[in-house]
Amino acid sequence: MQAIGIVQEQHADRARLYRQWRQLKWPIFVDSLNVLGLASVPIPLAVGPDGVVIGRIRQNQLDVLLQASSSRKKWVGGKLSDQHRGDALFWKGDLNGAVTAYRKGKQSAIASFRLGVALRARFESKHAQPGDGQAAVLAWRSALDQNPRQYIWRRRLEQYGPRLEKPYNFYGWIKEARAAIRARGETPVALAIEPAGAELMDRATTPDATVREKADPEGKVPRDEKKRVTIESIVTRSVSLKSQRARVRVVFLVRAAYWNNESEPLSLHVDVPAGVTLKEPMLVHPQAQKPETRERRVLEFEIEYPPGETGAFKIPAYALYSVCDEVEGTCLYLRRDFSVSIPAR
């Protein structure tokens, strides 16, 4: 008998870390696109030696599984469709091609979900285009609206969405996994994108409610005219219409510059409009240990808006940060004004 795993996960390296922690030895496939069309996990599936699916495994079916089936049906070959073209490009790492292919095809629920997967992957790659992160959320939302019972799709939204809608802490296991792996004398698998903010929270998490005085209220800090830092906000509104929350994730990337960790930390300041309440502000980023670093930084907050507010609106915001133009080069404390666009529900 052989066993394989198929993991439903946007980030394959997180599954690699999980495998290393649990010391799973069997082959594991990654189904980020949900090619299998599963609506939920876990599902154990038994297949006979002839490739005929026996079904969901139950204890009394193990005997059946272990006995060779007598039928000898041939494997069914798949015919490539437009959808599969996008899939193939995605697996090849051609994220631009995959996004284009998914957008060209019929905007079915599954096409929308896979478009979201490809957009999110591109957002986290060197090929990122402005708006990719938000477009991924909207594509996943479109998919879920068409099929609200698809819990694997729902989890992608919940991953980045309002804390109170999270059924559990999705990546709380990572801290324990790394400690256990190090205790074995191994080096944990490195993650390209560290889970942050809502990804590490659930309903039981006590959010940071520290109210900080707004820095630079008079706007005296020099503006970052060269845009040394790329700022992109991603808003995930509540899946449930009964909830009036949206979680805002603001991602900061230094371009031709470095974070200066020996000066003022990166901070975010927002002016929520009347009727909207700021919740759970995580608006100051801790400094790294090295003097200059270039890591992706994420700050988050939630807003609560009035019942029935389903339209789009904007939240004025600005960020303050210390950056250096080069290692041991000129360092500046700068300000960038921008706005967070809350998409219509």
Partner 1 sequence: MMRVVLALVLTAAVASPAPTGFLRPRGQPLPNVSLPKLDGTMGELSALGGKPLLIFNFASW
Residue whose CB is less far from partner 1, 160 or 301: 160
Tally the C-alpha atoms within 13 A of residue 208's C-alpha that lie toward its C-beta.
Answer: 13
What part of residues 285-324 is at the interface with partner 1 (CB under 8 A)?
Answer: none
175 is an interface residue for partner 1 by CB under 8 A: no
Distance CA 193, CA 93 (A): 17
Q: CA nearest 302: which of 230, 236, 212, 206?
A: 236
Q: How many residues bind partner 1 (CB under 8 A)?
A: 65
327 is an interface residue for partner 1 by CB under 8 A: no
Q: From the centroid of its chain, how far is CA 170? A: 11
Residue whose CB is less far from partner 1, 36 or 241: 36
148 is an interface residue for partner 1 by CB under 8 A: no
Region of 148-156, 229-237, 292-300, 335-343 interacting with partner 1 (CB under 8 A) = 148-156
Do residues 142 and 169 make contact, with C-beta atoms less than 8 angstroms apart?
A: no
Q: Closest approach of Cβ 14 to partner 1, in Å?
A: 5
45 is an interface residue for partner 1 by CB under 8 A: yes
Do residues 123 and 140 make contact, with C-beta atoms less than 8 angstroms apart?
A: no
25 is an interface residue for partner 1 by CB under 8 A: yes
Q: Which of 52, 192, 215, 344 binds partner 1 (CB under 8 A)?
A: 52
202 is an interface residue for partner 1 by CB under 8 A: no
68 is an interface residue for partner 1 by CB under 8 A: yes
Q: Which of 3, 183, 190, 274 binds partner 1 (CB under 8 A)?
A: 3
The residues, ordered by sequence, that sit 6+ positions from 58 with a Cβ below 8 Å of its Cβ are none
Residue whose CB is less far from partner 1, 50 or 337: 50
Residue whose CB is less far from partner 1, 68 or 209: 68
Distance CA 162, CA 238 (A): 6
Tally the C-alpha atoms within 13 A of residue 298's C-alpha that lie toward its C-beta.
Answer: 18
Q: CA angle 25-67-55, nearest 5°?
A: 70
193 is an interface residue for partner 1 by CB under 8 A: no
Q: Which of 85, 145, 170, 253 binds partner 1 (CB under 8 A)?
A: 170
The residues, ordered by sequence, that sit 6+ positions from 3 with a Cβ below 8 Å of its Cβ are 26
Q: Closest approach of Cβ 47 to partner 1, in Å?
A: 4
Place of tokens 């700022």: 231
Do residues 74 and 52 make contact, with C-beta atoms less than 8 angstroms apart?
A: no
Q: Closest approach of Cβ 183 to partner 1, in Å?
A: 20
75 is an interface residue for partner 1 by CB under 8 A: yes
Residue whose CB is less far from partner 1, 43 or 312: 43
Which two three-digit tokens encode residue 208? 């940071």
Which two three-digit tokens encode residue 276? 């909207």
**Could you tell me the maximum CA-CA distance found in the chain, to the nearest angstrom?**
80
Q: Which of 38, 180, 193, 221 binds partner 1 (CB under 8 A)?
A: 38
Q: Which of 70, 74, 217, 307 binds partner 1 (CB under 8 A)?
A: 74
Do residues 232 and 133 make contact, with C-beta atoms less than 8 angstroms apart?
A: yes
Residues forming the site for partner 1 (CB under 8 A): 1-9, 12, 14-19, 25-31, 35-59, 62, 65-66, 68, 73-78, 91, 151-152, 155, 159, 170-171
